[in-house]
Amino acid sequence: MAKFNNTDIRNGLMVDKDDLYIFPISDSVYTFLEKVWSSFCNKMVGLVFPNQENIFDHSVFEVIKGHETQIVASSTHFKMKEMIGNQKNNKDFQDFISKTKPIPFSDERNESLKILQKAIDRYSHMQRPEVEIINLRTDEKLHPNLKSLLTETMRYAVGIPLIVKENPIGVLWGIRRKKLTEEQIRDLTTQLHTLFDVIEYIIALEVDRKGDPYFARKNIEKSDTTSTIHHLLYTLQPGQRDPVTSIIAHSHSYNMMYRLDASYIVPTTNGYSVSLKHFAPEHMNDRKKIILTIPGFFCRRSVMDKVSKEMSLRYGYRVFSMDMRGRSRYTLPSNPSEKYSWTMDDYIQDDFPAVLQWIVDNYPGHEIVVMGHSMGGMIPRFYTSAFERIRSMTGKQDRINPKKFISGIVSITSPNYIDLDSPLFGLEMLKNGFKFLSNRMVYDMLFNLVSFPMKNTLTTIDLNSFFKFILNLHSSLRQFSFQVSTKIVNLNDFVGYKQITPPEWYFLVEDVFCEESVKVILQFIRSQLSHENGFYSYDGMINYTSEMQNIDIPVFSVVGTVDRIVPASCIKDVMKLPIPHKKISEYEQGHLGIVFHQETVESICREAHDWIAEIDEAKKNASGEKITASI
């Protein structure tokens, strides 16, 4: 599309926007759009204002179909949870789409055509399209084909025209019940312009390289509309085989420029790798500290995004967010014939020290503060406390000494051993019986006990399968004892987020949750059944819990008081250990809610920042006392 300038306008050469011709979408672009346009609507109903208030109740996408416009996709805020993995087969969705009718360009009442023509005019002047706001109850221009689709709660529509490869593809609409304030309109306009940029870039890129629609959908749905991208570059970084995507953006929430790099790939062992996402704020603080965030059980690093951004953009730290092996295709061995299998020991003894070494090599003179959620907080604690035992028993003499480079560990709902808040696993009979058995016998008995399709070829399972396994285990145990309760932990307990919205549920399942290694799961189960409340290495030779008595690095423990997955009792015993500068705080949140609820995240990060400052001050005072004593 040719771009006009102000001289053209002054000379009267610019054509009238009502005369602009709308080209049909090319076959290649339309075919790709059919596979991804649901993500446009899903993203719209997931948008929130700065105060976390939901913006839209409904969303529809009106596509250019030949020489007509027609609604082809929709999403509803309160039904997002039901749409997970089943949007096309959802009856409500099918019923709604079946009622939509095309509106020809030749129909003078086709207001979307005029909106698209106006968008072409602005785009030709290197401007983003205007955000359109329509009162659905009073607008007399609304086409009858659209009026027939309205419900009582659909009162205001906000639309943004979309353009791909310099040609319009349609209008994305968000629909709400309440009228927008001027302040809300300003914020929403900024977000929709960012979403316009994201969709334009991702669709054009993936169409050109015949990319995977799945990754296009995921990238659109998890895009950050609270930031405006200024530059998107591919950079060559030392030690990286593939280019790293570097984004320079301005965060409206924090009013700051920052850089985001994704992803650095760090090789570990047996062909596996770890993937790192990097946040660098425009204004770095002077503490010489790097924050490393680590996700927990069944979770990708995106579960820590709110923590990572808060520590980087509010408090000025360089932050790396870690995906362990198996969390993405980039972390798996290149040989697809390999059976993927790993243990918690691989996370502790190989992946974590590899990342420490990489950070130390690339950022000399910096100390590291690790912030981990759940299992992500266990990993640095267990590696640090069992470091000498790991070296002596495994022969891994080349592992980096954590005491030289880690200045603190923030453990968010991270247990010292496993004791789910459920009568299922608390059965004393089982604990007493299993304490006399070897780890291998326990593992074999567990999977012989339950009617669960666990075959030798199955090395990872997803979260739903895990809770089905617990249900089957629970049902089997009830055959032997009436003491087993009918209440068991489930996915709601795992999330433990009472304020969660349907779009957040969707985001958790579609982007955060991942498969976990069966061997890792077995280690957690063994700990649950351990009579002495311990977490063991897979071979049973190292009791990581008992090694915690050796830890001499400051630990800040964060407890979720309504967490059924990690009850406070599994955490508070850490505070009995002689740990320097230890700290504990409690929040009324469940297991994942504690890193998802924005106010809670802000409070935890504020406490963590102050705690880091206190440690630095204590070190400074101790150093001064040593100098004075030597004099």
Of 74-78, 201-205, 268-272, 353-357, give the lowest mean pLDDT range.
74-78
User: Would you state the pLDDT for residue 258?
Assistant: 98
Q: What are the angstrom distances between the C-alpha of 13 and each of 7, 16, 184?
A: 9, 10, 37
Domain locations in the chain?
A: 6-221, 227-597
User: Would you state the pLDDT for residue 509?
Assistant: 82
Would you say residue 631 has pLDDT above 80?
no
User: Would you state the pLDDT for residue 617?
Assistant: 94
CA–CA dist 359, 354 (Å, integer): 9
Average pLDDT over residues 469-479: 51
Would you say residue 71 has pLDDT above 90?
yes
Residues contacting residue 436 through CB under 8 Å, at least 6 positions apart: none
The three-point CA angle 609-612-618 to 5° equals 145
Q: pLDDT of 484-528, one tens digit each?
A: 333 445 677 778 887 888 888 888 888 888 888 888 988 887 777
Would you say residue 1 has pLDDT above 70?
no
Helices 463-478, 439-449: crossing angle, 10 deg rounding: 80
CA–CA dist 522, 514 (Å, integer): 17
- Report the mean per-residue pLDDT for the chain: 86
> Is there a contact between 427 and 477 (Cβ–Cβ < 8 Å)?
yes
Average pLDDT over residues 156-170: 97
CA–CA dist 56, 79 (Å, integer): 12
Gyration radius of the chain over CA positions: 27
Would you say residue 377 has pLDDT above 70?
yes
Would you say residue 482 has pLDDT above 80?
no
Residues contacting residue 467 through CB under 8 Å, at least 6 positions apart: 489, 490, 491, 494
Give the residue with greater pLDDT, 333 vs 268.
268
Give the residue with greater pLDDT, 573 vs 591.
591
Q: Does domain 227-597 have CATH number 3.30.830.10?
A: no
User: Would you state the pLDDT for residue 630?
Assistant: 61
> Residue 442: how many CA atoms within 13 Å on its side-chain side?
26
Give the residue with greater pLDDT, 466 vs 109.
109
User: Would you state the pLDDT for residue 518?
Assistant: 84
> Residue 58: how many CA atoms within 13 Å on its side-chain side?
21
Can you tell me whether residue 467 is helix, strand or coil? helix
- Closest by Cα among 211, 301, 219 to 514: 301
> Is there a contact between 242 and 328 (Cβ–Cβ < 8 Å)?
no
Residues 525, 528, 531, 532, CA torsion sign: positive
User: Would you state the pLDDT for residue 449?
Assistant: 46
Give the residue with greater pLDDT, 629 vs 113.
113
Q: pLDDT of 186-226, one tens digit each?
A: 999 999 999 999 999 999 999 998 888 998 999 999 999 99
Can you tell me whether residue 532 is helix, strand or coil? coil
> Is there a contact between 566 and 560 (Cβ–Cβ < 8 Å)?
yes
Residues contacting residue 5 through CB under 8 Å, at least 6 positions apart: 125
Q: pLDDT of 7-51, one tens digit each?
A: 555 556 677 888 899 999 999 999 999 999 999 999 999 999 999
Written as six digits, the tokens of 345 are 């020991």
Of 56-70, 288-302, 402-416, 565-579, give the lowest mean pLDDT range.
565-579
Would you say residue 582 has pLDDT above 90?
yes
Q: pLDDT of 386-434, one tens digit each?
A: 999 999 999 889 999 999 999 999 999 998 876 655 444 444 444 455 5
Cβ atoms within 10 A of the Cβ of 326, count?
A: 22
User: Would you state the pLDDT for residue 231?
Assistant: 92
User: Would you state the pLDDT for residue 54?
Assistant: 95
Written as six digits, the tokens of 90 are 């959802």
Residue type, 37: W
Q: What are the angstrom distances between the C-alpha of 390 and each of 386, 415, 452?
A: 6, 20, 34
b or e along 200-213 (b: 16 or more beta carbons within 10 Å of the residue's beta carbon)?
bbbbeebbeeeeeb
> Is there a contact between 385 and 549 (Cβ–Cβ < 8 Å)?
yes
User: Would you state the pLDDT for residue 420?
Assistant: 58
92 band by pLDDT with thresholds 50, 70 and 90: confident
- DSSP string computed for 558-583: EEETT-SSS-THHHHGGGGS--TT-E
Strand (E) or helix (H) holding 88: none
Average pLDDT over residues 157-165: 97
450 band by pLDDT with thresholds 50, 70 and 90: very low
Q: pLDDT of 236-295, one tens digit each?
A: 888 899 999 999 999 999 999 999 999 899 999 999 999 999 999 999 999 999 999 999
Percent of the chain scoring above 70 in pLDDT: 82
User: Would you state the pLDDT for residue 409?
Assistant: 98
User: Would you state the pLDDT for residue 23?
Assistant: 94
Give the residue with greater pLDDT, 573 vs 138.
138
Fold classification of 6-221 (topology level): Beta-Lactamase (3.30.450)
